[in-house]
Amino acid sequence: MAQTYASYDLCESHITADAVAQDSVALTTIFADPVTEDIYHIEQRASEGGRCVLMSNKTQKEVFGKDFNARTRVHEYLAGSAIAYNGTVYSSNFTDFRIYAAKDRNIKPITPEDPNKLYRYAYFCVHPVHTDLLVAILQDHTNDTPRTVRNSLCVVNSSAATVTPLVSTENAESEFYATAPIFSPSGDKLSWQLWKQPGMPWEGGQIYVADVHYNSNTHTLSLSNTKLVAGEANNLSACCSRDPGQVSDSVWPYIAPELPIAEVVCDGRFLTEVPRL
């Protein structure tokens, strides 16, 4: 094949920006089922318009199928869209904003229909005893302005496909539920993080812990004895561990950039500082 010569500014390459982008796959999330220890990941495929595909590392197949986009618009972070627990995978679908559950190739929506896409869900956690109940961040866009969008914690009943409120913001303009809630192994405690705007999470993230109560008549959850255990608005930030292997019924590890690693006693009575390694 004869060589073609061209000046520096006119040389044409067979490698184009479009070709590189279409062949790229971005790995956005990796997570594990704490019961089965199966591993899953979410990959964003440029060749499919940026669709987020939830893959099982065990089967090397999509969990939810070709029409599913495993993405949430809560906080617009492209995070917190999926978890797995005891063989069931839960994910928000970007197409209709509902949460879906998949197990043994059976897929079903577990939140109500929302034709106007007013409600967004993210950062789910499954109750370790009543495993058809999940706690999630709910972002309500009924009044869709930056000052009136409401962030809260809700309970999702995956058997009945219903959603009930759990913790609501007192001030929609200032309180911002940031990262996922997490249960203690017994399910008797719940921890979550929020921060107060206009601060950012690394400036004043706060950790709360509350007692969890199960109502057998309504098959839902409620909280009591809510306590702020770490962090101070616009002054000291704390981020709670979400690793089930680190959380016990009495202690949650947390990290504050300005302090050594510390452990939070669930009832909020004291903090024990653990020196960094």
The alpha carbon of residue 262 and the mean position of all alpha carbons in its chain are separated, in whole angstroms, by: 23
What is d(CA 24, CA 49) in angstroms, rounded to the nearest whole number? 11
Percent of the chain predicted with pLDDT > 90: 48
| 103 contacts: CB under 8 Å, gap ≥ 6 | 87, 88, 89
Q: What are phi and psi of 117, to 5 degrees?
A: 55, 50
Other Cβ atoms closer than 10 A to 226: 14
Element (H, E) at 274: strand 271-274
Is 54 in contact with 68 (CB distance < 8 Å)? yes
One DSSP character per residue, 202-226 reads HHH-EEEEEEEEEETTTTEEEEEEE
> What are the residue ranges spanned by the domains of the chain?
174-277
Which pLDDT does position 111 carry in this prediction? 98
Looking at 15-19, 23-27, 143-147, 153-157, which range is the least confident one? Answer: 15-19
What is d(CA 96, CA 116) in angstroms, rounded to the nearest whole number? 9
Q: Average of pLDDT values for 44-54?
A: 93
Return the higher-pLDDT residue of 250 and 207.
207
Of 234, 227, 267, 271, nearest to 253 (Cα)? 271
pLDDT tens, position by position, 104-143: 989 999 999 999 999 999 999 999 999 999 999 999 999 9
pTM attached to this predicted model: 0.84
What is d(CA 208, CA 240) in angstroms, rounded to the nearest whole number? 9
Looking at 17-26, 100-109, 163-172, 177-186, which range is the least confident one? Answer: 17-26
Is 241 in contact with 153 (CB distance < 8 Å)? no
